[in-house]
Structure 1
Amino acid sequence: MIDHITLHMSDAEQGIAFYTRALAPLGYIPKVRHGRTVGFGVDDGTPRSDFYVSPMEDGAEAPVPTHIAFRADGEHAVREFHEAAIAAGGIDNGGPGPRAYHPGYYAAFVLDPDGNNIEAVVDWSHAD
């Protein structure tokens, strides 16, 4: 089980602005700030965050692109994520739709300002 992920970005403020808009359709909001790092999580009234955007260390090389998949509540949220992420400056990396990974996998992909591959997914094969 993953507790949290920290994504280091070359321009953390740009990343925070991007993720604030792009993740809103998935119910994620900025919840905590630790210096220049911002923690995002579902809007549940707690400070619990599971996704953090942080600046790269001074003098560090460019980040290596990462893939992160956020679970969406439904296909509508996947579509809204894709629209919001593009409007926030993301680059389309695969529009909303079913994927051939297995039946029930519906996703959209966007590259964030540092080129990280961000996915919103509904995966009905894992439904409770």
Structure 2
Amino acid sequence: MIDHTGIGVSDVARSAAFYDAALGALGLRRAIQLPTDTGADGIGYGRDFPIFWIDRFHPHGVKQHTAFAATSRAQVDAFHAAAVAAGGTDNGPPGLRGVETGYPAGYYAAFVLDPDGNNIEAVFREPSR
């Protein structure tokens, strides 16, 4: 199981504005921020501790994909709206993804490209009926 992960970004301040909004809609916040005067320049997002980092010391521009768990369809919708309003690019509006395209039944998700082109997803896995 993964404890935490992160991605490199070209501009931490620009990306922070995007992730503050997008991840805020999922109930995540800045859990820690490394000081810029150390050369570390990074922000860890989470609830009680950082689970997702953005920083300038890892390579950026490699077009990574990260999916965040949502607790409802409404939270996926809010994530997408907040991420696009904060400068993200729609890469798949909120909706059920089809079993015929390889998604499991009840997979409700939205996709947004962050300022560096990383594919960021929010997903709600509906309970089986």
Q: Percent identity?
A: 46
Give yes or no for the alignment of 1:83 onto 2:81.
yes
Q: How does 1:44-123 map to 2 (within 5 A)?
A: 46=48, 48-56=49-57, 62-100=60-98, 101-123=103-125
By how many angstroms is 1:12 displaced?
1.3
**Code of the aligned partner of 1:98:** L
Count of aligned residue pairs for this structure pair = 119
Structure 1: runs of 5+ lacking an equivalent: none
How high is the TM-score relative to the length of structure 1?
Answer: 0.87
CA distance in 2, matches of 1:75, 1:102: 16
Q: How does 1:5-44 map to 2 (within 5 A)?
A: 5-35=5-35, 36-42=41-47
**Code of the aligned partner of 2:52:** F
By how many angstroms is 1:120 displaced?
0.2
By how many angstroms is 1:102 displaced?
1.7
Structure 2: runs of 5+ lacking an equivalent: 36-40
Give 4+ residue runs of structure 1 displaced > 3 Å after superposition.
Answer: none
How high is the TM-score relative to the length of structure 2?
Answer: 0.86
